[in-house]
Amino acid sequence: MGIGMRALRLISMFACMKKTFPIVLAAGILAAGGCARFHPRPLSAASSAAGFEERSLANPSLHAFLETNQVAGEWPLPSWDLRALTLAAFYYQPDLAVARAQLLAAQAARITAGQRPNPSISVTPGFDSGIAGNPSPWLVPVTMDWPIETAGKRGKRIAEAEHLAEAARWGLVGTVWQVRSRVRAALLNLYAAQETESLLARQEAAESNVVRLLEGQFEAGSVSSFEVTQARVARDTTRLDWQAAMGQARQARALLASAVGVPLSALESVKLSFAGLDQFPRNLTKPEVRREALLNRSDVRAALAQYAASQSALQLEIANQYPDLHLGPGYAWNAGSSGDSEWDLGLSLTLPVLNQNQGPIAEARARRVQAAAQFLSVQASAIGQIDSALAAYDAALGEAATAKSLLQSLSQRLDSVQAQEQAGEAASLDVANAQVAFDIGVQNRLTALIRAQQALGFLEDAVQSPLTLPPNTIRGAESGGVAMQARPVVELEPK
C-alpha cells in the first residue's frame, strides 16, 4: 500500500472521530491540568552534617520560637534552664521531626481515603471495508466505565484514616514527652556530675590534709606506717573518683547537647541554670492526677485511637460484601450502512456468589480483638508504671530526708570538734577526720537528692501531667521545628 493511500485512510479515520474526539481531548486536558509534578529534593549527608554543626542556641529563628512559647526577655538568654532547653529541643530535635513527618503522612492518608474512583473512557476504532454502501469503512465505538461505590465505603475509609491520624498525633505527643524526659535527665546528670566533681575535689583536699598530719605524726613516732598507708589509699581512691567525675561531667554535657539536638560546641559558651532541680512537688502524687493519667496518657490515647480505627476497618470490610456498581454508557458512530449513531447504557456489578468477603471480614475482626487487647495491655502497663513511680518517689524522698538529717549531725560534730580544737581539747587530726566525714555526708546527701530527682522524673513521665508540661507547650512542640512545620492540611507536592 502506498504512502498516499495510508494518508487518505488516516484522514478518513480522524474525520469519522470528529464527534467523539473533542470529548476524549477535553477529558485528557482536564486530567493533565490537575496532575502534580515531581520536584527533586536531594539529600546530602555532607551538607546535612554541616548544617547540624551550625546549629546554635543564639539562632534568631529559635528566639522567635521561644517567644511564641512565652519565653521572652534578653537575647541571647543569659542562662538556659530546663524549660528553655526543653523548648530548644522541641525546635531542633530530629526525633520530633520524624514524628511530625509521620503525622503528616497519616493526615495525607485521609486525602487518599476520601478519593472517589475515577471513571474511564475507551475508544476502540475499527475498520470494515465489506459493508456495501457504507460512507466510511471506519467504526468508532466509545464506551465509559463510571464506578459507583455502595454501602458508604468512602465514609468508612475516611473514618479509619481519621482515627489513624489521631493515633499518629498521640504518637507525636508521646515523642514530645520522651524528648522532654531526655533533656531533663541529661541536665540532671550534668548537675550531678559537676556537683560530684566539686565535692570530690574538696574531699581530696581534706584527705590530703589528713595524710599530711599523719605523716608528721609518723615521723614523730606517734602513729604506725599502716595508718599512714590507709590514709593515702583513701586519698588516692578519692583522687581517682575525682578524675572520673571530671570525665563524667564532660560526657554529661555532650549527652545534654544530643538531647537538645545541637552539637556540643553550641553549649560551650552557654551558661546553664539548674534551678528547680532541688524541688520536690507533691501535687503529682494526688489520686486525681493518677486517674487522669490512666485516661489521657499519650500511649493510652494512641491505643484507643488504634482500636477505633480497627472498628472502622471492620465496618469497611463488611461494606465490601456489597458490590460496587459500574455504569458503562457507550456510543458508536457509523455502525450501520447509512452512517447512523447508536447509544447504549451498560450496567455491571460483581456477583457475590463464590464468596461474600468472609476472609477480609474475619481478618478485620481478629485485628479488632488484637487492638482491644493491645489497649488493655498499654493501660495495664501505665498503671504499673505509675504505681511503681509513686512508690519509688516516696522512698527516694524518705532517703533524702534521712541523708539531710545525717548531714546535720555531721555538721554539728564538725562544729563541735573545731570548737574543741580552739579550746585545746582536740588535735588537728581530729578536725581533719571530722571534715572528711562531713564531706562524705555532703556527697551522700547529693546522691540521695539526685535519686529523688530521678524518681521525680520517672513519675513525671508516668503521669504526663499538665502540671509538668502545659498543653500550650505541647502544642508548640507539635506545630514547630527546624526540620518541618506540621499542618492540619498538607499538600504533598507543589503544583
Task: List, for residues 224-281, the tens digit of each pLDDT value.
Answer: 899 989 999 989 998 998 999 999 999 999 999 999 999 999 998 899 999 888 889 8
3-state secondary structure of 126: strand
Residue 166 has pLDDT above 50, yes or no: yes
Domain 85-115+152-321+358-480 fold is Outer membrane efflux proteins (OEP) (1.20.1600)
Residue 190 has pLDDT above 50, yes or no: yes
Average pLDDT, rounded, for the chain: 86
pLDDT at 94: 92
Among 11-15, 289-293, 308-312, the minimum mean pLDDT is found in 11-15
Residue ranges per domain, the chain? 85-115+152-321+358-480, 120-148+327-355
Q: Which of 190, 32, 171 is nearest to 102 (CA)?
A: 171
Residue 438 has pLDDT above 70, yes or no: yes
**pLDDT tens digits for range 77-135:** 999 999 999 999 999 999 999 999 999 999 999 999 999 999 998 888 877 666 666 66
Residue 40 has pLDDT above 50, yes or no: yes
pLDDT at 342: 73
pLDDT at 153: 93
pLDDT at 484: 41
pLDDT at 254: 95
Q: How many C-beta atoms surround the C-beta of residue 494 within 10 A?
A: 7
- State if pTM tops 0.85: no
pLDDT at 340: 63
Give Cα separations from 47 to 42, 44, 328 (angstroms): 10, 5, 55
pLDDT at 23: 53
Helices 428-463 and 153-219 pack at an angle, to 10 degrees, of 180
pLDDT band at 29; cut points 50, 70, 90: low
pLDDT band at 486; cut points 50, 70, 90: very low
**pLDDT tens digits for range 439-465:** 899 999 999 999 999 999 999 999 999
Cα 384-386-389 angle, rounded to 5 deg: 105
Give Cα separations from 119 to 20, 102, 112, 336 (angstroms): 17, 31, 16, 28
Phi, psi of 343 (to 5 degrees): -115, 145
pLDDT band at 338; cut points 50, 70, 90: low
Helix (H) or strand (E) holding 480: none
pLDDT at 26: 54
* % pLDDT > 70, the chain: 86
Residue 148 has pLDDT above 50, yes or no: yes
pLDDT at 127: 75
Among 241-255, 348-362, 406-420, 475-489, the minimum mean pLDDT is found in 475-489
Residue 192 has pLDDT above 60, yes or no: yes
Among 141-145, 165-169, 475-479, the minimum mean pLDDT is found in 475-479
pLDDT at 139: 74
* % pLDDT > 90, the chain: 56
Please state whether the peptide bond connecting residue 466 to the residue before it is cis, i.e. omega within 30 degrees of 0.
no
Give, as one character, the DSSP assignment of residue 275: T
pLDDT at 487: 36
Contact 69, 471 (CB under 8 A): no
pLDDT at 1: 46
3-state helix, strand, coil in the chain (%, to 5): 65, 5, 25
Residue that has been written with the C-alpha cell 475508544 in this structure: 123
Q: How many C-beta atoms surround the C-beta of residue 282 within 10 A?
A: 8
Cβ-based neighbours of 421, under 8 Å, separated by 6 or more: 427, 428, 430, 431
